[in-house]
Copies of this chain bind each other. A is one copy, B any other.
């Protein structure tokens, strides 16, 4: 996997793909599916995530302050749904779903080599967890599989149906005010 600047996290997340969140506890990795997230800031790159005490990953994330946001593509659709419909409390999800770990650089949480991209994150602010289950993460490093042919991400429509990325349209010429985002 190739590295891309952490400041470019918005290029992967602003479009709203469903993502996987990897955590680790006592050296054992776990993974959950997440649909409620957004880019909060370009620099430093902050990502807001809704993860609550009802998620088994919540404690690992709160205790360790680290996670990886992995971005799956359409070939992983069934796994993405199944990962979100069982708990790490009773299931070894990496084994059950045959996910391939790869070492991260800055966090003690593995990357998922099967995904298009992996964003190493540190928890930046937990002050809104009690009120809104809002964890604010800072992206610290990004890895992307540049050779991957399947790059279409999945967008959850909230009920178990997903839109797959279709055609891309390029309107960069019209971005007169926000031109710097193209650097």
By a beta-carbon cutoff of 8 Å, the part of chain A in contact with chain B is 8, 10-11, 14-17, 35-41, 46, 48, 50, 74, 77-78, 81-82, 84-86, 128, 132-134, 136, 152-178, 181-182
Contacts and interface: CB of A to CB of B under 8 A. Distances in A.
Contacts of A74: 169
Contacts of A136: 132
Contacts of A133: 40-41
Given A84-B177, A164-B166, A164-B168, A10 B132 contact: no
The A contact surface, by secondary structure, is mixed
B36 A37 contact: no
A77 B173 CA distance: 13
Which are the 7 A-B pairs with shortest beta-carbon distances? A16-B16, A166-B166, A160-B172, A38-B38, A15-B155, A160-B175, A85-B177
A85 B174 contact: yes
A81 B82 CA distance: 36
B171 A77 contact: yes
B178 A84 contact: yes
Contacts of A176: 85
A162 B168 contact: yes
A155 B157 contact: no
Contacts of A41: 50, 132-133
A171 B15 contact: no
